[in-house]
Structure 1
Amino acid sequence: MNRKYKRLKTQGVWLFAISLSLGISSCKKEKTTTETVTPEVKENKWVSMSTGQSHTVALGSDGSIWGWGHNATGQLGTGNTNSISTPALLSAERDWKFINTGYGHTVAIKTDGSLWAWGENTSGELGIGTKGTAVNTPTRVGNDTDWKMVLAGGNYTIAIKNNNTLWSWGTHSSGRLGNGQSTGETLTPVQVGAESDWDKIFTGNNWGASFAIKKDGTLYAWGVNQNGMLGNGNTSNQLSPVLVGGSSKYKMVSYGRARGTLAIKTDGTLWAVGRNSRGELGIGNMDTQANWVQVGTDKNWNTVSLFARTVLATKTDGSLWGWGENVYGELGNGKINPSSEVAETILSPVQIAGQSSVADAVVGFNFSVIRKNSNGGILFVAGSDMGAFYSLGKGTGNTKPILSFSGHIYLP
């Protein structure tokens, strides 16, 4: 956050005014003289964030990782299971480069390429060779130092190495590991297939479907396929990666536990498939889609996040858009629809007023977080704390929802 301190001399008394990027608080008198002193600006800022059910982990540009919110399975990695009401440093090391959190476990990669995990381990999703007992501190996964990207799914984990090979571990349920099996568990990382042209991976933090984009931009999917959420034209679970986007080229995917999926192509268009019970597909109705359909005609979509039936998306101009249901105020549009009535849902993308320079947005169960390019990469939150979950990271016991993105979180 940029601050400017002004010393104001009025009738022999020195006063101070602090000019903030988010507003101005000042003391004013007549006949003042002003001397401006600009202190050193901290270069450290938020560079990414990931939300689980009711918690968040975030990465600082100095390699630090921070977390807040619900911590029932040790997913924040603090050595205990106490929820955290404001951002807390999760590790003394400042050599982290990638973080992702799921419903109950968190995964991360250090700058040396080593892989780490902590939290719930019911099905071996931590990849440390055991299952059943949760781990509440960061624990190294194997000895490899060539990990590129890793994501936490519902009781499983998928990852890509620097050589662009695909890996997975955890439960085989519904084919979510992509290795041709649907029962049992894999307790350590195992390669999926023999291909070495995987570029990006996407999964939901408490569900069992996965998507991956290859180097040529083509889209593949596997795992749970309820309501046709994988986009391959049927509803059968897929035990191995299958092409779902034809010859089109994609850049990102997000799906919700309500079984709807949204994807952005490299041409900036937005597409949807699967269940649409509260308008989460953004196509102006609540009809389930068996095949991919375009959302509007705009060609400047940048990011999209769908948790259950709530969506936030950004465009390349930095604007923020939302649709679907808004039970906890998580859309940040100044409203809340606690009854979740169909009539109160938003069926097509609507711009969230007052927001600009938004780099990305992520949605949790009862809250959402956006990161801005301006103001040093500040995070802003909206939604509800849900009692002792502390999802908003703004201190204990917020009894009222934050209905607009006014709850800013600076990197400590």
Structure 2
Amino acid sequence: MTALYAWGANSHGQLGLGYVSEQVTLPTRVEELPDHLSEPSIQFAVGGGGHTFLLTAQGRLFGAGWNASGQVGNGTQGRAVPMFQLIRGLEGHQVVSVACGWAHSIALSQSGQVWVWGSNSHGQLGLPKEEVPFTSLPISLNLTNVVSVSAGLRHTAVATRDGRAYTWGHGHRGQLGHIDSDGQLVKQQPYTESCGPCGRRGDEYEGQVLAWGDNKWGQLAHDPRNVAYFTCPLTIPHNYFGGKRVLWLRAGWTHCVAGATNGSVYVWGRADYGQLGPSEEEKDDSSSDTAANEEHSKRCRYIPSKLCISKRIKAVVCGSEHNLSMVEETAKECALYSWGWNEHGNCGDGTTTNLHQPRVIALPGLVRVIGAGSGHSFALVKLS
């Protein structure tokens, strides 16, 4: 038997529990699901600022939570949708991926078609904001052969089969990767435009990690005391990941997580909520005062370090400033670890105290799927 559990911020009903509350500090079973949503079929749980989506193996998408800009996608606009509902307008399309920004959403169908809905206050839907300030129903964009979609706070990015990246929305800190013909930062891009790495095709960089945008907390793996932000994708040094190829990347608001081919997981960026876990060792830096370095390292770590969990990590998801991880207990059994910002109980340990090292979270079975939004969390569990 399989069951869905949710915890953390629930001020907009984003946990799908059927009610609105300030916080839920312990994993709580989501009892009321639509008749046509079976728990064993859930493959992904994805959250935004205050809304959540569940995606099934059949490609059906269900949403709950904050809906002031129509970001839940049920055809209405209102403060809260406290129970999961089927997303309207995607009938006949098999959804394979979904991503959430603060108040907008983007989905990818099996055919490579892209759909957007929610707030368009900064052009994050890839449509003229004067014509479409928001939409509560998915709108298809004029893009083809897309293989990956993602969303930041108020910007959006997709990757295509031919190795190109497209970004649009809010870009005041360089997060779009665009500069204009005069070499100036493009602060807003209200329609899709290629941001191939400095004008080159993405396949030229296969196996490398590129970063651009805000670097206030070292989240781009460069010292923030020297570089405030990047406007053009730059390569993160290969040796930062033990010389291994990076297989996957995850990002919160100000921190990043990467998984390498040897199974190692690396973390970097903002650290003062505990979102990086304990550091392996202090890095030497002869260029400045030691005490200043120690204080700086408490707030952020710009050089990726290995995540200190002794067992094999199978998956990691990031909220705004917290993380969840599926950790292999045996060959067929996984436990849930969490750490980081915990103001809304989003780490699931029953407290609102930040966790500065990964902690096992009690669940009544084996973890199969994990998901996180800004301040909320989900786990699909096979009951014992």
Q: Tell me, in whole angstroms, the C-alpha distance in 1 between the residues paired with 2:189 and 2:276.
A: 32
Quick one: higher RCO (CA 8 Å, sep 6+), 1 or 2? 2
How far does the alpha carbon of each residue in 1:136-176 deviate from its partner, in whole angstroms, 9 at most, with x for none? 00111226042222222221111112221111111221111
1:85 to 19, 25, 30: 25
Q: Give, as a single letter, the amino acid of the residue that structure 1 aligns with 2:230.
A: Q
1:179 to 96, 118, 127: 127
Q: Tell me, in whole angstroms, the C-alpha distance in 2 between the residues paired with 1:371 and 1:232.
A: 36
Structure 2 residue 255 is matched with structure 1 residue 310: yes
Structure 2 residue 153 is matched with structure 1 residue 192: no
Aligned 1:159-174 pairs, distance under 5 A: 159-174=107-122
Indicate the percent of aligned positions where both proteins have the same amino acid. Answer: 23
Q: Give, as a single letter, the amino acid of the residue that structure 2 aligns with 1:135.
A: V
SS in 1 for 2:122: helix
1:333–1:128 Cα change, 3 Å: same
Q: Tell me, in whole angstroms, the C-alpha distance in 1 between the residues paired with 2:311 and 2:163.
A: 29
How far does the alpha carbon of each residue in 1:321-373 deviate from its partner, in whole angstroms, 9 at most, with x for none? 122221121211169xxx99545321211123344522332333442212235
Structure with larger Rg: 1
Tell me what 1:232 maps to.
178
1:293–1:196 Cα change, 3 Å: closer
Report the CA distance between 1:406 and its aligned residue: 3.1
Q: Tell me, in whole angstroms, the C-alpha distance in 2 between the residues paired with 1:393 and 1:266.
A: 38
Structure 2 residue 135 is matched with structure 1 residue 135: no
- Given that 2:254 and 2:321 are in contact with CA atoms closer than 8 Å, whether structure 1 keeps it comes out as no
- Given that 2:70 and 2:137 are in contact with CA atoms closer than 8 Å, whether structure 1 keeps it comes out as yes
Structure 2 residue 189 is matched with structure 1 residue 244: no
1:359 to 294, 314, 322: 314
Tell me what 2:47 maps to.
101
Tell me what 1:300 maps to.
245
Q: Tell me, in whole angstroms, the C-alpha distance in 2 between the residues paired with 1:115 and 1:228.
A: 32
Tell me what 2:369 maps to.
none
Aligned 1:107-118 pairs, distance under 5 A: 107-118=53-64
Q: Tell me, in whole angstroms, the C-alpha distance in 2 between the residues paired with 1:84 and 1:192.
A: 37
- Given that 1:228 and 1:275 are in contact with CA atoms closer than 8 Å, whether structure 2 keeps it comes out as yes
- Given that 2:45 and 2:53 are in contact with CA atoms closer than 8 Å, whether structure 1 keeps it comes out as yes
Report the CA distance between 1:409 and its aligned residue: 4.6
Give aligned pairs, total: 327
Q: Tell me, in whole angstroms, the C-alpha distance in 2 between the residues paired with 1:267 and 1:377.
A: 31
- Given that 2:309 and 2:358 are in contact with CA atoms closer than 8 Å, whether structure 1 keeps it comes out as no
2:355 to 402, 408, 411: 402
- Given that 1:319 and 1:355 are in contact with CA atoms closer than 8 Å, whether structure 2 keeps it comes out as no
Q: Tell me, in whole angstroms, the C-alpha distance in 2 between the residues paired with 1:151 and 1:311.
A: 17
SS in 1 for 2:20: coil
State the superposition RMSD in angstroms.
2.6
Q: Tell me the TM-score normalised to structure 1 length.
A: 0.72
- Given that 1:320 and 1:356 are in contact with CA atoms closer than 8 Å, whether structure 2 keeps it comes out as no
1:374–1:176 Cα change, 3 Å: same
1:341–1:192 Cα change, 3 Å: farther
How far does the alpha carbon of each residue in 1:255-278 deviate from its partner, in whole angstroms, 9 at most, with x for none? xxxxxxxxxx97332111122112
Aligned 1:325-340 pairs, distance under 5 A: 325-333=270-278
Q: Tell me, in whole angstroms, the C-alpha distance in 2 between the residues paired with 1:244 and 1:348.
A: 25
How far does the alpha carbon of each residue in 1:83-103 deviate from its partner, in whole angstroms, 9 at most, with x for none? 322223325532323321111
Q: Tell me, in whole angstroms, the C-alpha distance in 2 between the residues paired with 1:369 and 1:295.
A: 24
Q: Tell me, in whole angstroms, the C-alpha distance in 1 between the residues paired with 2:346 and 2:126.
A: 32
1:177–1:315 Cα change, 3 Å: same
- Given that 2:173 and 2:187 are in contact with CA atoms closer than 8 Å, whether structure 1 keeps it comes out as no
